Amino acid sequence: MRRALRQRGLSLERICDRLHAQGISVSPATLSHWQRGRSQPERPQSLRAIDALEPMLGLLPGTLRSLLGPHRPRGRALPHDPAAVRGVYGERSDLEQALGEAFPYFNSDTQALVTHETVTLDEHRAIREITVTTVLRAVRDGARQLTVVHFLDAPPDDAVDVVVRSGELADRRFLPELRSVLADISFGRPLARNDTAVVEYTVHVGPSLTTSYCHERRIRESLRTYLLHVRFHPLATPASCHYFYRERLDGEARQRHRVLLDTSHTAHLLPAKCPPGVYGLEWQWD
């Protein structure tokens, strides 16, 4: 599929437009996962898309279908219930759109234990760096990588980069329509069940005229520890800053209280307990 797309010179967005004209709805993210082998089409609508793709790409009927492997076993145990994940993210969330058919299997081989996140803003009030250190545990034999998704204040461009310090960057892709960057970070070896690994990476964001007002993390399973540390530029400190928690991405804040900046112009949150939900800091500018 990837080779045929290159030969035809068609973008994923152009393919989606052509499929849509035939009454078939498939996102660019889903097509990207198919051609990278991150997921495969199984639903009737997806198989219709495969059949429609073949003439678009100049392939004989059945060429792409013949490359499909066996369906994923539906009865396999997952460390999380997709319905429970939607309980945090909601239906048709930006994450589900970004991952496409891979959403039910999002990091299903691992469980995060500890996450430490440092966000750095520049003098123009824009987020420039997001550094994340995560300690995780394999919940089954053979776990090989962690997929991370970050939603930015502005659509990603060539100035956005992902640098991995612990682990190996296996793949990186941008979805401008969702203002997101996705990365697959390999552990360097398959983990055995209950093995732990540390992943550390930084998302570098280029100069932006878009003002940042908050940073949040969606947590699908309870964490032992979550620390969010926000560093403001000395020439651009907010008038006030607040911690918030929501049970759902689209829900009302269940907790909200003021956080004071320290002498280093930073604010942080460290929940005593960290059940599933959305945790973040938001700030107000003069």
Kindly state the average pLDDT of the residues 274-286.
95
CATH number at residue 143: 2.60.40.3140
How far apart CA 20 and CA 32 sit, in angstroms, is 16
How far apart CA 145 and CA 126 sit, in angstroms, is 30
Q: Is residue 147 part of a domain?
A: yes
| Domain identity same for 127 and 260 | yes
Supply the DSSP string of 12-80, one letter for each residue.
Answer: HHHHHHHHHHTT----HHHHHHHHHTS----SHHHHHHHHHHHHHTTPPTTTTGGG--PPPPTT---SS
Q: Which two tokens stand for residue 261?
A: 């900046």
Q: Is residue 7 part of a domain?
A: yes
Please give the mean pLDDT across all residues of the chain. 88
| Domain identity same for 120 and 189 | yes
| Domain identity same for 115 and 63 | no
Which of the listed residues 10, 37, 67 is the one where a domain comes to its end? 67
| Domain identity same for 113 and 215 | yes
Number of structural domains, the chain? 2
Give tens-digit pLDDT for 82-141: 666 676 777 778 888 888 878 878 898 999 999 999 999 999 999 999 999 999 999 999
| Domain identity same for 125 and 195 | yes
- 147 or 59, greater pLDDT: 147
Q: Which two tokens stand for residue 252?
A: 């009302």
Q: Is residue 74 part of a domain?
A: no
Give tens-digit pLDDT for 15-46: 888 888 888 888 877 887 777 666 778 778 88
| Domain identity same for 56 and 155 | no
How far apart CA 86 and CA 192 sit, in angstroms, is 28
Print burial letters for 248-268: b (CB count within 10 Å at least 16), e (below 16).
Answer: bbeeeeeeeeebebeeebbbb
Q: Is residue 239 part of a domain?
A: yes
**Dihedral, CA of residue 136, residue 137, residue 142 and residue 148, to nearest 10:** -20
| Domain identity same for 180 and 238 | yes
| Domain identity same for 127 and 21 | no
Domain that holds residue 146: 107-284
Q: Is residue 51 part of a domain?
A: yes
Q: Is residue 79 part of a domain?
A: no
Q: Is residue 50 part of a domain?
A: yes
| Domain identity same for 61 and 120 | no
Supply the DSSP string of 90-140, one letter for each residue.
Answer: -TT-HHHHHHGGGGGGTTTTEEEEEEEEEEEE-TTS-EEEEEEEEEEEESS
| Domain identity same for 113 and 186 | yes
Q: What is the pLDDT of residue 70?
A: 54
Tell me which of 50-59, 71-80, 141-150 is least confident. Answer: 71-80
Return all residues near 74 (Cβ < 8 A) that are at least 6 apart. Answer: none
Q: Is residue 273 part of a domain?
A: yes
Give tens-digit pLDDT for 123-140: 999 999 999 999 999 999
For the beta carbon of residue 122, count every other beta carbon within 10 angstroms: 17
Q: What is the pLDDT of residue 74?
A: 46
| Domain identity same for 133 and 212 | yes
- 28 or 237, greater pLDDT: 237
Q: Which two tokens stand for residue 117?
A: 């996140």
Q: What is the pLDDT of residue 218?
A: 92
The SS3 assignment for 6 reads: helix
Q: How many CA atoms lie within 13 A of 14 on its CB side?
A: 8
Give tens-digit pLDDT for 220-236: 889 999 999 999 999 99
Which of the listed residues 45, 67, 89 is the one where a domain comes to its end? 67
